Amino acid sequence: MDSAYLKKFFPEAQSIPAECRLQQVHQKEYVINGTIKEQKGTTRKDFLPICISREDSLP
Protein backbone atom coordinates (compact mmCIF):
# COMPACT_ATOMS: atom_id res chain seq x y z
CA MET A 1 0.00 0.00 0.00
CA ASP A 2 1.55 3.29 -1.03
CA SER A 3 0.94 6.90 -0.01
CA ALA A 4 -0.96 7.79 -3.22
CA TYR A 5 -3.42 4.96 -2.56
CA LEU A 6 -4.04 6.14 1.01
CA LYS A 7 -4.48 9.81 0.03
CA LYS A 8 -7.78 9.09 -1.69
CA PHE A 9 -9.27 8.03 1.67
CA PHE A 10 -8.14 11.15 3.57
CA PRO A 11 -9.27 14.44 1.99
CA GLU A 12 -7.60 17.78 2.54
CA ALA A 13 -9.55 19.95 5.00
CA GLN A 14 -10.25 22.69 2.45
CA SER A 15 -11.82 20.16 0.05
CA ILE A 16 -14.62 19.33 2.53
CA PRO A 17 -17.70 21.48 1.75
CA ALA A 18 -18.71 23.83 4.57
CA GLU A 19 -22.13 22.17 4.94
CA CYS A 20 -20.42 18.80 5.55
CA ARG A 21 -17.90 19.95 8.16
CA LEU A 22 -18.52 18.60 11.62
CA GLN A 23 -19.87 20.78 14.41
CA GLN A 24 -20.08 19.95 18.09
CA VAL A 25 -22.70 17.34 18.87
CA HIS A 26 -24.41 17.08 22.24
CA GLN A 27 -26.21 13.78 22.02
CA LYS A 28 -27.94 12.12 24.94
CA GLU A 29 -30.08 9.65 22.97
CA TYR A 30 -29.06 6.13 22.05
CA VAL A 31 -30.77 3.02 20.65
CA ILE A 32 -31.14 -0.34 22.43
CA ASN A 33 -33.15 -3.13 20.82
CA GLY A 34 -34.81 -0.64 18.46
CA THR A 35 -35.92 1.68 21.27
CA ILE A 36 -34.59 5.22 21.66
CA LYS A 37 -33.41 5.85 25.21
CA GLU A 38 -32.17 9.06 26.82
CA GLN A 39 -29.00 9.29 28.91
CA LYS A 40 -30.12 10.63 32.28
CA GLY A 41 -26.85 10.36 34.19
CA THR A 42 -23.63 12.26 33.92
CA THR A 43 -21.87 12.62 30.58
CA ARG A 44 -18.31 13.20 29.51
CA LYS A 45 -16.60 14.79 26.53
CA ASP A 46 -15.54 12.31 23.90
CA PHE A 47 -13.19 13.18 21.08
CA LEU A 48 -13.20 10.98 17.97
CA PRO A 49 -10.38 11.22 15.46
CA ILE A 50 -11.22 12.53 12.02
CA CYS A 51 -8.32 11.97 9.64
CA ILE A 52 -7.50 14.50 6.94
CA SER A 53 -4.41 14.96 4.79
CA ARG A 54 -1.98 17.72 5.72
CA GLU A 55 1.22 18.91 4.08
CA ASP A 56 3.29 18.02 7.13
CA SER A 57 2.04 14.47 7.58
CA LEU A 58 1.38 11.30 5.71
CA PRO A 59 -2.22 10.19 5.33
Give pLDDT tens digits for 2-41.
Answer: 777 877 788 888 888 989 888 888 889 999 999 999 999 8
Say which residues have a Cβ less than 8 Å from residue 53's Cβ, sequence separation at least 6.
7, 10, 11, 12, 59
- Which helix H or strand E contains 4, and what residues bound it? helix 3-7
What are the tens digits of pLDDT across the range 37-52?
999 988 888 877 778 8
Give the pLDDT score at 6.
Answer: 77
Give the pLDDT score at 30.
Answer: 93
